[in-house]
C-alpha cells in the first residue's frame, strides 16, 4: 500500500505542497533517472537568496552510479535513519556557506537560503512522482571529513530521494511512524497578525 498523507488545510493550498510529506518506504529497485536528478538540482538552484548569493552547495550520491560513495554517505546517518534509508537510491546533503561571495562578510541568511533551496528540491521531487525525506540525524563532522567539506560551510541536512514503496516492507517500529497521521500546530499559534502573539485568523 502506497500511503498518501495530504495536508488538511482550512482553505485550499497548492496540490504539490499539500501532497508533499516525508515517507520512509522507498523502492530499492527503481533508480532516479539522471534527468530527474538534474531537475531536483535545478529546482534548488532557482531558489531565492539574499543578494542572490546562492550560499548553498549540495553533495549527491546515486547508488546506481557510485555505490561505494553512496555507502560512505549512508554511514554518516544516525542508526534510526539508516533503518529506512537503506532502500533509497539517491542521497543528498545540503551545505550552507557562511560568507557572502562578493565581500567575504558573514552571511547570516546562508542557512535560511539553503533551507529554501531544499524546500524547492523536495517539492520538485513530488512534481516528478518521487518522494524526498530530509534528515538532521547524521554525523556532520564525519560527513565533513569523509567528503572534504571546507571550513566556512555547514552541513545542514541529508535528503533521501526515491520512488515511494509499500509501507508493509518496513520494520515494525518504522512502519508505525510511517502510518502515523501528519500533524501541525494550529495556525494561530505560529502565525501572528500586526503584533507578536496575536493569532492571524
Ligand atoms: C531539517 C530537518 C531535519 C529532519 N530530520 C529528520 C531525521 O533525522 N529523521 C527523520 O526520520 N525525519 C527527519 N525530518 C523529517 C521531519 O520529521 C518531518 O518533516 C516532520 O515530521 C513533518 O512531517 P512531513 O514532512 O511528513 O510533513 C527532518 C526534517 C527536516 C526539515
Q: Which three-class secondary structure string do you get for the chain? A: CCCCCCCCCCCCCCHHHHHCCCCCCECCCCCCCHHHHHHHHHHHHCCCCHHHCCCEEEEEEECCCCHHHHHHHHCCECHHHHHHHCCCCEEEEEEEECECCCCCCECCCHHHHHHHHHHHHHHHHHHCCCEEEEECCECHHHHHHHHCCCCCEEEEEEEEEECECCHHHCCHHHHHHHHCCCCCCCHHHHCECCCCCCECC
Mean pLDDT on 98-122: 98
Mean pLDDT on 120-124: 98
User: pLDDT class for 194, splitting at 50, 70, 90?
Assistant: very high
Atom number of ligand 1 nearest to Cα 137:
8
Distances (CA, A) of 62 to 49, 66, 145: 27, 6, 20
Which residue owns the Cα nearest ligand 1 atom 28? 135
Mean pLDDT, the chain, integer: 97
pLDDT given for residue 38 in this prediction: 98
pLDDT given for residue 94 in this prediction: 99
Q: How many Å lie between the centroid of ligand 1 and the Cα of residue 103?
A: 34
Residues 136-181 have pLDDT tens digits of 999 999 999 999 999 999 999 999 999 999 999 899 999 999 999 9
| Ligand 1 binding pocket includes 136 (Cβ within 6 Å) | yes
Is the C-alpha dihedral spanning 88, 132, 18, 154 positive or negative? positive
Mean pLDDT on 25-39: 98
Query: What residues contact 60, with CB distance under 8 A and at least 6 apart?
Result: 37, 41, 90, 91, 92, 93
pLDDT given for residue 169 in this prediction: 86
| Ligand 1 binding pocket includes 147 (Cβ within 6 Å) | no
Query: What residues contact 181, with CB distance under 8 A and at least 6 apart?
Result: 5
Residues 64-96 have pLDDT tens digits of 999 999 999 999 999 999 999 999 999 999 999
Which residue owns the Cα nearest ligand 1 atom 9? 135
With vertex at residue 86, the alpha carbon angle to CA 84 and CA 91, rounded to the nearest 5 degrees, is 100
In angstroms, the CA 90 to CA 41 distance is: 12
Amino acid at each position: 500500500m502506497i500511503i498518501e498523507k495530504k495536508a488538511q488545510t482550512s482553505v485550499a493550498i497548492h496540490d504539490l505542497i499539500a501532497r508533499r510529506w516525508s515517507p520512509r518506504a522507498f523502492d530499492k529497485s527503481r533508480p532516479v533517472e539522471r534527468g530527474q536528478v538534474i531537475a531536483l538540482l535545478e529546482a534548488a538552484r532557482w531558489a531565492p537568496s539574499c543578494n542572490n548569493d546562492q550560499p548553498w552547495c549540495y553533495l549527491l550520491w546515486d547508488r546506481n552510479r557510485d555505490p561505494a560513495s553512496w555507502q560512505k554517505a549512508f554511514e554518516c546517518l544516525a542508526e534510526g535513519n539508516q533503518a529506512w534509508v537503506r532502500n533509497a537510491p539517491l542521497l543528498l546533503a545540503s551545505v550552507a556557506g557562511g560568507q557572502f561571495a562578493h565581500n567575504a562578510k558573514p552571511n547570516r541568511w546562508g542557512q535560511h537560503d539553503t533551507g529554501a533551496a531544499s524546500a524547492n528540491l523536495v517539492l520538485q521531487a513530488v512534481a516528478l512522482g518521487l518522494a524526498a525525506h530530509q534528515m538532521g540525524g547524521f554525523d556532520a563532522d564525519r560527513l565533513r571529513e569523509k567528503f572534504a567539506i571546507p571550513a566556512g560551510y555547514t552541513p545542514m541536512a541529508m535528503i533521501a530521494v526515491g520512488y515511494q514503496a509499500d509501507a508493509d516492507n518496513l520494520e515494525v517500529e518504522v512502519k508505525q511512524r510511517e502510518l502515523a497521521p501528519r500533524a501541525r500546530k494550529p495556525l494561530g499559534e505560529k502565525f501572528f497578525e500586526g503584533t507578536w502573539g496575536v493569532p492571524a485568523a
